[in-house]
A and B are shown apart, each in its own frame.
Chain A
Amino acid sequence: MIILYSFLSVTLLGLIFGVGLSMASKALAVRKDEKVEAVESKLPGINCGACGYAGCSGYAEAIAKEEEEDLTLCSPGGPDVALELAEIMGVEVEISNQRMVAQVFCRGNDERSKTEFVYQGVTDCNAAYLYFGGNKSCKYGCLGLDSCIKVCPVDAIIHDEDGCVWVDKELCISCGKCIDICPTGVMKLIPHEADYIVACNSKDKGAVTRKYCSVGCIGCKMCEKASPEGGYKVDNFLATIDYSMDGEREAASVKCPPKCILSLKGVTVKDEKN
């Protein structure tokens, strides 16, 4: 009998509280702006921070309240999301349909690139960079201690079979976090469609670079001559590619003495050199 009473009374109490709570939640509900919700529902929800706001909801709120006019800040969402946002907000957007991805401009691994001392510190590129710009003789290259790998929200960065740090362009959502964290500035954005890359970042004179790295750009200008329409340009002893030029770039890649111009055609996570 006692069990039955206590059972009933607890059930009754539960019912009363339940009803009370549900009424309270209706009465006291914080009404979320419908527009904010609509905008937020179109964002990818990975909170990468590429837009410059604290997460997707921050960006959504700024757009909905018309504090932020630029609707193209979500790089993971790309043009599709920008168009959807424009529809909700009833405005036009200009879309550049160039998808960009991050890449590491260095192929200097332990065998190819000299070191100056034995590093025994914390496994982190910024920590290593604190002392003499890292233990590599080259102060522009990749230190290979994984700071970018740790911050990438979509695990797009790996050590490839050469032991070099490399971005899988199919996975990269162009959030820029890796570029931000990298102490040497060796990561840069390139178009997703880029066919070649000068995979070096050393601005030292050719003779200096040659001494410390077998795959470093020596600034010899061979590429400019071999593929004059390919957008190659040597500045500060380092070749770069202007991707708005669409001439052929292969001849330069073949002629380049240290072979630092890599083909990216159809390559995601592979080094084409052997």
Chain B
Amino acid sequence: MSKLKTFGLGGVHPHDRKSRTNGKPIEDAGIPAVAVIPMSQHLGSPADCTVEVGAKVEEGMPIGKSSGFISANIHSPVTGTVKEIGRVFLPNGTSSQAISIEVEESFSPKSSWKADKNWEELSKEELIDLVADMGIVGLGGATFPLNVKLKVPTGSTVEYLIINGVECEPYLTADHRGMLELTDKIFKGIEILYKIMEPEKVFIGIENNKPDAIKVMSQKASAMSFPTEVVPLKLRYPQGDEKQLIQAVTGREIPSGALPLAIGCIVSNVGTVYSLYEAVVLGKPLIERILTVSGGAIKEPKNLRVRIGTPISELIEKCGGFSEVPEKVVVGGPMMGFAIFDLDTPVTKGTSGILALTLKEVNSSVRTSCLNCGKCIQACPMGLNPTTLFKYIDHQDYDGAKDIGLLDCKECGSCGYTCPAHIPLIHGMKLGKLILRKNQQKQNKVKA
């Protein structure tokens, strides 16, 4: 057998802990009593709220309008009445305007959706506009508005379209289940992407801890009318990141600060491709997503299809509740996710998982000073020196940190994962970037 592909520098091998859910079919999570819909669920500027308190809204109706070049529309996932427009904290710790909708008692989700037009008759531009209308964003984590990504500037060409089925974060299995259960629909989505971007070739990257998905996807790929290849990858974190995935699949490297398009590649996550299918073929906006509820403190871990805006507490209940008091509840994967303190935090478009972790899983320990062991340097897939970066930031030399590559850090968490001194390295990187952003804003103001 030939050697499995993977990326070059750094990376770590966390225990994948996926066995509790990777055999479980996707279930419906049901409808919440109140859905809380934040206006900021994507990268870029928050959507403008288009409804008022007391208004009646219907499933799939637009309630937030994209407010800029990088922004996205938001639709009501339920039928009901707007009870309140206030502010909530999002799982990632920032706050956002949010619409609370009291769900009508008689509401049951539409069972069949039908698009206004047959997608095969639409032009590229019309397809991209449709994607924008439906509020589709990247579901792999970055929540970048898909329509913006699809607008390839004149002069650039897409050689490779890479579909991301890596799901390298431990515990998460939603994409894995999607590839097994929704295979045809995902390939329909790939066809749509192919029509919009006309790449020379489509690659689908899947790590080799999902042999069943590799098999199913390969069978389907060989039957496509355009060149499509499933690339099995060696298990390694953070292979699901754009940069690492492109390198693993094509051997090409994105220059610092550039987009994948600079080297002729575009990456899209399987979950996103599935939503694209629903939007374009069925005319269904992004009001639902598939996510994994797992962790040692969850009684019956599951993969769930969830309405956006459902409080996390209801999903935990759906999974039998806690089997013991969790040490931390994390939204997203354990490497890049965020610990939350309020279980009524709503699910957003970017929520890929909910993990209730036990003390043992959290493996928390006392922070000591840096041992100069160099493990973080070895782990960093971007070739940075995390401990030196942290020291600069700790001494408020943010420009110094920038000079040695702070802005290249993707907050993947590999450094913090390996650090035996338990230094909050990634948090430091986030702080450094925040202050650099603030200083930049201040400078812009002085100049203006």
Give the B-binding residues of A (Cβ under 8 A). 52, 116-117, 120-122, 124, 126-127, 130-133, 150-151, 180
Residue B93 is within 8 A (CB to CB) of chain A in the complex: yes
Whether A127 lies near B431 (C-beta < 8 A) is yes
Whether A130 lies near B430 (C-beta < 8 A) is yes
Whether B431 lies near A124 (C-beta < 8 A) is yes
Taken together as a complex, chains A and B put the C-alpha atoms of A87 and B362 apart, in Å, by 66
Residue B322 is within 8 A (CB to CB) of chain A in the complex: no
Q: How many residues of B contact A (CB 8 A)?
A: 20
Taken together as a complex, chains A and B put the C-alpha atoms of A116 and B364 apart, in Å, by 19
Taken together as a complex, chains A and B put the C-alpha atoms of A116 and B93 apart, in Å, by 13
Residue B434 is within 8 A (CB to CB) of chain A in the complex: yes
Q: Tell me the chain B residues, 384-405 only, with Cβ under 8 Å from chain A.
A: 394, 396
Known contacts being A52-B446, A127-B430, is A122 close to B341, with CB within 8 Å?
no
Known contacts being A130-B93, A131-B93, A133-B95, is A121 close to B427, with CB within 8 Å?
yes
Q: Tell me the chain B residues, 410-448 only, with Cβ under 8 Å from chain A.
A: 424, 427-428, 430-431, 434-435, 442, 446
Chain B residues lying within 8 Å of A131, measured Cβ to Cβ, are 93, 338
Whether A127 lies near B93 (C-beta < 8 A) is no
What 7 pairs between A and B have smallest CB-CB spacing? A131-B93, A117-B341, A127-B431, A121-B427, A122-B427, A132-B93, A132-B89
Taken together as a complex, chains A and B put the C-alpha atoms of A122 and B435 apart, in Å, by 14
Whether A126 lies near B431 (C-beta < 8 A) is yes
Taken together as a complex, chains A and B put the C-alpha atoms of A52 and B434 apart, in Å, by 21
Chain A residues lying within 8 Å of B338, measured Cβ to Cβ, are 131
Whether B430 lies near A151 (C-beta < 8 A) is no
B95 closest partner in A (C-beta): A133
Give the A-binding residues of B (Cβ under 8 A). 89, 93-95, 338-339, 341-342, 364, 394, 396, 424, 427-428, 430-431, 434-435, 442, 446
A-B contact pairs, 13 of them (CB 8 A): A120-B364, A122-B394, A122-B427, A124-B431, A126-B431, A127-B428, A127-B431, A130-B427, A131-B93, A132-B341, A133-B89, A151-B396, A180-B442
Chain A residues lying within 8 Å of B446, measured Cβ to Cβ, are 52
Tell me the smallest distance from the CB of A49 to a CB of chain B, in Å.
Answer: 11
Chain B residues lying within 8 Å of A126, measured Cβ to Cβ, are 431, 434-435
Tell me the smallest distance from the CB of B310 to a CB of chain A, in Å.
Answer: 20
Chain B residues lying within 8 Å of A150, measured Cβ to Cβ, are 396
Chain A residues lying within 8 Å of B396, measured Cβ to Cβ, are 150-151
Whether A121 lies near B89 (C-beta < 8 A) is no
Tell me the smallest distance from the CB of A132 to a CB of chain B, in Å.
Answer: 5
Known interface pairs A122-B431, A130-B427; 20 further A-B residue pairs with C-beta atoms within 8 A, sorted by A's residue number:
A116-B341, A116-B342, A117-B339, A120-B424, A121-B424, A121-B427, A122-B394, A124-B431, A127-B427, A127-B430, A130-B93, A130-B94, A130-B430, A130-B431, A130-B434, A132-B89, A132-B93, A132-B95, A132-B341, A150-B396
Chain A residues lying within 8 Å of B428, measured Cβ to Cβ, are 122, 127
Chain B residues lying within 8 Å of A120, measured Cβ to Cβ, are 364, 424
Chain A residues lying within 8 Å of B95, measured Cβ to Cβ, are 132-133
Taken together as a complex, chains A and B put the C-alpha atoms of A127 and B95 apart, in Å, by 15
Taken together as a complex, chains A and B put the C-alpha atoms of A31 and B404 apart, in Å, by 36
Chain A residues lying within 8 Å of B430, measured Cβ to Cβ, are 127, 130
Taken together as a complex, chains A and B put the C-alpha atoms of A151 and B396 apart, in Å, by 9
Taken together as a complex, chains A and B put the C-alpha atoms of A130 and B95 apart, in Å, by 10
Tell me the smallest distance from the CB of A182 to a CB of chain B, in Å.
Answer: 12
Tell me the smallest distance from the CB of A234 to a CB of chain B, in Å.
Answer: 22
B425 closest partner in A (C-beta): A122
B390 closest partner in A (C-beta): A122
Tell me the smallest distance from the CB of A118 to a CB of chain B, in Å.
Answer: 9
Taken together as a complex, chains A and B put the C-alpha atoms of A188 and B76 apart, in Å, by 42
Tell me the smallest distance from the CB of A254 to a CB of chain B, in Å.
Answer: 36
Whether A122 lies near B434 (C-beta < 8 A) is no
B442 closest partner in A (C-beta): A180
Tell me the smallest distance from the CB of B356 to a CB of chain A, in Å.
Answer: 15
Tell me the smallest distance from the CB of A159 to a CB of chain B, in Å.
Answer: 19
Taken together as a complex, chains A and B put the C-alpha atoms of A136 and B338 apart, in Å, by 18
Taken together as a complex, chains A and B put the C-alpha atoms of A164 and B342 apart, in Å, by 27
Taken together as a complex, chains A and B put the C-alpha atoms of A121 and B429 apart, in Å, by 12
Chain A residues lying within 8 Å of B93, measured Cβ to Cβ, are 130-132
Taken together as a complex, chains A and B put the C-alpha atoms of A237 and B89 apart, in Å, by 22
Tell me the smallest distance from the CB of B363 to a CB of chain A, in Å.
Answer: 13
Chain A residues lying within 8 Å of B435, measured Cβ to Cβ, are 126
Tell me the smallest distance from the CB of A51 to a CB of chain B, in Å.
Answer: 12
Taken together as a complex, chains A and B put the C-alpha atoms of A18 and B432 apart, in Å, by 48
Tell me the smallest distance from the CB of A40 to a CB of chain B, in Å.
Answer: 21
